[in-house]
Amino acid sequence: MSIHIVALGNEGDAFHQDNRPSGLIRTYLGRSPLVSGDESSLLLNATGTVARPVFTEYQASAFGNVKLVVHDCPVWDIFDSDWYTSRNLIGSADIIVIKYNVNDKFSFHEVKDNYIPVIKRALNSVPVIIAAVGTRQNEELPCTCPLCTSDRGSCVSTTEGIQLAKELGATYLELHSLDDFYIGKYFGGVLEYFMIQALNQKTSEKMKKRKMNGSFHGIRPPQLEQPEKMPVLKAEASHYNSDLNNLLFCCQCVDVVFYHPDVKEVVEAHKIVLCAVSHVFMLLFNVKSPTEIQDSSIIRTTQDLFAINRDTAFAGASQESSGNPPLRVIVKDALFCSCLSDILRFIYSGAFQWEELEEDIRKKLRDSGDVSNVIEKVKCILKTPGKINCLRNCKTYQARKPLWFYNTSLKFFLNKPMLADVVFEIQGTTVPAHRAILVARCEVMAAMFNGNYMEAKSVLIPVYGVSKETFLSFLEYLYTDSCCPAGIFQAMCLLICAEMYQVSRLQHICELFIITQLQSMPSRELASMNLDIVDLLKKAKFHHSDCLSTWLLHFIATNYLIFSQKPEFQDLSVEERSFVEKHRWPSNMYLKQLAEYRKYIHSRKCRCLVM
């Protein structure tokens, strides 16, 4: 492989030819460590061979084994004496170097006006380097007066050189002297960069040409097709807030009633939801004591707004049963009580739709002062202890994302006896829970607690076929709308529990978790893991997880070479085995072609075309 460089121009000073040093190209070839060849072998075309040669030819080796051919034309006057040769050499050039002396302005203009247009027509995305050689004799700035001609014919300015480089799309260099720094590192670095680019381009074109011409011998290696695309599982949208909002309208598991002696309307609610949102209700229902809250404004709001009717109250939440009447709470503010149904709807919806709440209250209370008073009391109810009430501007607060208090605050009551009205007995241990959340989030439990079943009248309910850890993860999802299994095995156990209680979204979450875990495993880990993938497939089918079972079949087929070597592969049914063999990757045909190709390579003792 070779690189062809064409150098045009005279870098010598026209007024000091006698003391001119060696030329730019010859100096570079003699000093560059990447170019090999002594001084006597560089010059092949001597000036005595032809009367007036257009180009002087140099040959050397670059980068060890790359042939470097340089054609240098320092005499611009005879450039067009042999136009055929000049045109062919420029057309076949990999790199073009244009050089001039900064103190020879006449030669610069001759290049710019007469020969640059010719070079432009011959260029075909070839890199061009413009080298301005020498130190300007007059360092002062020339006069810009239109009538003054001083310094106009003495030296070439940097601006003129850069403008010429822009016209050609060239790289502009100023070489103040032909020493090791300017030749070896500055000019040589740029030239060697373009040499490497030319080599890369030639190599790429050579490979493309070889592929287009089909220039290979023997049997071509087989092409490995892409595996089939895995089925895509779509996650089910959350209906968490709608479940809790529906709890307010269905009036199931009501355990507290708000009323005012002068207001006919009675408002029913659930302690667990109210306490998850507000410390005022925590204080009211004895979930927390005043010393735990340590906020005088919350204590004052509780005392000013509510009072428990002790005549119908029962001792504590932990002693409640399904037959106990709800706790009756007196609302001391009649205006606040008349708007309480709208306030509770606002709280059960996520406590963020302030403009809608303000509009609903304004429909009931015509006085704007009363509306502002009720809104301020709602803000006090939602206040966080120890912090300044930041819910001052309803419109500003409306623009923010919804604050779903339930999915974070309800976790405070998970597996705790506070306000609990049902207890599950699992593996000899007990897990307290709250009927309102269970009924709102799980249709099976809603039917169990509200139907003619033993669980509807019992506080202690036994649970079979599920471990305590799995059931707690199940309750965590019901309370917070999220879960994080510890691994694939626990995710499958949770999926089985979700199928038992018909919670479809939790099933989808477990399916996505299992799929994500398996997809992230490298092949080496899949081969060495102890997890029985076929047993996982059978459990998914048995528990009606059709999406997961279909995906697992595709996963086994895609990793056929790994799972076919495992003992459990034989446990696949005839139908499953047929599916895996049909969709296996790599295919049986590819493996046969690969074996034939390897046999050919070894028999001929030749080198693989790919490697």
Judge whether residue 386 has pLDDT over 80: no
Judge whether residue 387 has pLDDT over 50: yes
Give residue 431's pLDDT: 96
Residue that has been written with the tokens 């302030």 in this structure = 354
175, 190, 208: which is the final residue of a domain? 208
The answer on 525 and 490 residing in a single domain is: no
Torsion sign, CA atoms 85, 88, 94, 96: positive
Average pLDDT over residues 81-87: 74
Judge whether residue 555 has pLDDT over 50: yes
* 17 assigned to some structural domain: yes
Judge whether residue 53 has pLDDT over 80: no
The answer on 192 and 113 residing in a single domain is: yes
* 238 assigned to some structural domain: no
pLDDT, one tens digit per residue, over 424-449 is: 999 999 999 999 999 999 999 999 98
**19 or 588, greater pLDDT:** 588
Give percent of the chain with pLDDT exceeding 90: 38
What band does 406 get if pLDDT is binned at 50, 70 and 90? very low
CA distance 583 to 540: 20
Contacts 24+ apart (CB under 8 A), 606-610: 606/218, 608/221, 609/216, 609/218, 609/220, 609/221, 610/221
Average pLDDT over residues 197-224: 76
The answer on 260 and 375 residing in a single domain is: yes
Say if residues 513 and 548 touch (Cβ distance below 8 Å). no
CA distance 101 to 176: 10
Q: Write the DSSP string, 248-295.
A: HHHT-S--EEEEETTEEEEEEE-HHHHHHH-HHHHHHTTSS-HHHH--
CA distances (Å), origin 139, targets 142, 157, 294:
9, 10, 81
pLDDT, one tens digit per residue, over 487-526 is: 999 999 999 999 999 999 999 999 999 999 999 999 999 9
Domain that holds residue 486: 409-500
* 468 assigned to some structural domain: yes
* 506 assigned to some structural domain: no
**122 or 179, greater pLDDT:** 179
What CATH number should be reported for the domain holding residue 472? 3.30.710.10
Find residue 344's DSSP bridge partners: none
Neighbours of 528 (CB within 10 A): 9
Average pLDDT over residues 250-254: 86
Burial of 229 per CB tally in 10 Å (0-12, 13-18, 19+): exposed
The answer on 484 and 446 residing in a single domain is: yes
The answer on 525 and 496 residing in a single domain is: no
* 392 assigned to some structural domain: no
What CATH number should be reported for the domain holding residue 366? 3.30.710
The answer on 464 and 553 residing in a single domain is: no
The answer on 534 and 483 residing in a single domain is: no
The reply to whether the predicted model has a pTM over 0.75 is no
What band does 396 get if pLDDT is binned at 50, 70 and 90? very low
CA distance 259 to 281: 15
The answer on 466 and 375 residing in a single domain is: no
**24 or 329, greater pLDDT:** 329
pLDDT, one tens digit per residue, over 120-146 is: 777 777 899 998 888 887 655 555 554
Judge whether residue 45 has pLDDT over 90: no
Residue that has been written with the tokens 């026209």 in this structure = 14
Quote the number of domains for the chain: 4
Residue 97 belongs to what H/E stretch?
A: strand 95-101
Give residue 34's pLDDT: 66
Judge whether residue 361 has pLDDT over 70: yes
The answer on 267 and 335 residing in a single domain is: yes
Give residue 90's pLDDT: 81
The answer on 112 and 26 residing in a single domain is: yes
The answer on 491 and 446 residing in a single domain is: yes
Find residue 260's DSSP bridge partners: 263
* 244 assigned to some structural domain: no
What band does 475 get if pLDDT is binned at 50, 70 and 90? very high
Q: Which of 29-38, 220-229, 256-265, 492-501 reaches the highest mean pLDDT?
A: 492-501
The answer on 374 and 294 residing in a single domain is: yes
CA distance 135 to 13: 10
* 112 assigned to some structural domain: yes
Residue that has been written with the tokens 């087989």 in this structure = 222
* Mean pLDDT for all residues in the chain: 82
* 146 assigned to some structural domain: no
